[in-house]
């Protein structure tokens, strides 16, 4: 009996020892995991961010646009949120963000927008200068300065976001609109005018459904308008109704009347 009691006591002590070992290992593993997550898998500086696809935007620019701060747990970052912020803040058309744990860091791939035309718009502090790409997305001047110059000599004056699609269509058709298209002017109310070297000022209006017909009319006028009428308009060529173009001519100068001669 005494031997059985001793054996039961030894087994109980062995179980307690195993239980304490298990608790110790769990606590140790939890502590190590916590240290790894807080100290190992974290972003400590911008040097842990690799940027590819852009020569204009370095880690400093991307960190500011993404709203990142250091140190920051790598696992707490959401790549989708960072992509959305960069798409909103930077002149890029595609963004891909990936986390990697060994070594801890971020890989960010950017596809930049290429400037096509210089542009201005009205901002809270007055006129802002920038550029637009082929889809007429706005590019701030501090971003555009660091890259290549616009691929055309066209200027967009008065850019507004709700007329972006119209501006883009005009830019895409610029080679068909005369030699050359110089300016796209956007009114605050949405009306659009073009300044073409061969025709002068051409008013298109705000009806987007007429754009294709207006492009055809401009091409026809470039071929048929007599040379003496090219650029002769004072107020512009009105194509708001492309079926009835209206050319407002400059009034003929009045003959000068000779002054009276007075005896000196």
pLDDT single digits (tens) 81-95:
999 999 988 888 899
Compute the average pLDDT of residues 132-161.
85
The secondary structure of 36-66, three-state, reads: HHHHHCEECCHHHEEEECCCCCCHHHHHHHH
* Residue 172 pLDDT > 70: yes
* Residue 242 pLDDT > 50: yes
Rg of the chain over all Cα atoms, to the nearest angstrom: 35
Strands 200-205 and 192-196, how do they pair? Answer: antiparallel
DSSP-derived secondary structure letter, 264: -
CA-closest candidate to residue 215, choices 252, 259, 150, 171: 171
d(CA 261, CA 247): 42
Average per-residue pLDDT for the chain: 82
d(CA 45, CA 42): 9
Question: Using CA of residue 186, residue 167, residue 238, residue 233, what is the dihedral sign?
Answer: positive
Q: Any residues with CB less than 8 A from the CB of 259 and at least 6 apart, and which?
A: none
For 95-121, how does the pLDDT look when each residue is reduced to its tens digit (9 = 90+)?
999 998 888 899 999 998 889 999 999
**Residue 215 burial (CB count, 10 A):** 18
């Amino acid at each position: 009996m005494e031997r059985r009691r001793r054996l039961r006591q030894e087994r109980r002590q062995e179980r307690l020892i195993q239980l304490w070992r298990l608790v110790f290992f769990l606590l140790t593993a939890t502590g190590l995991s916590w240290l790894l997550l807080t100290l190992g898998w974290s972003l400590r500086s911008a040097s842990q961010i690799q940027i590819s696809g852009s020569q204009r935007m370095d880690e400093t620019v991307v960190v500011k646009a993404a709203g990142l701060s250091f140190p920051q747990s790598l696992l707490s970052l959401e790549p989708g949120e960072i992509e959305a912020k960069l798409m909103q803040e930077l002149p890029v058309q595609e963004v891909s963000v990936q986390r990697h744990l060994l070594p801890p860091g971020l890989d960010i791939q950017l596809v930049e927008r290429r400037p096509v035309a210089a542009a201005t718009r009205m901002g809270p502090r007055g006129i802002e200068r920038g550029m637009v790409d082929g889809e007429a997305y706005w590019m701030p001047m501090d971003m555009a300065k660091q890259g290549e110059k616009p691929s055309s000599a066209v200027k967009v004056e008065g850019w507004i976001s709700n007329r972006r699609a119209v501006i883009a269509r005009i830019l895409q058709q610029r080679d068909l609109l005369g030699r050359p298209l110089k300016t796209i002017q956007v009114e605050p109310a949405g009306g659009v005018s073009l300044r073409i070297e061969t025709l002068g000022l051409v008013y298109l209006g705000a009806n987007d459904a007429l754009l294709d017909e207006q492009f055809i009319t401009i091409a026809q006028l470039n071929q048929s308008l007599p040379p003496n009428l090219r650029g002769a308009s004072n107020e512009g060529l009105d194509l708001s109704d492309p079926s009835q173009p209206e050319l407002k001519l400059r009034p003929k100068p009045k003959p000068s009347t000779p002054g009276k001669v007075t005896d000196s």
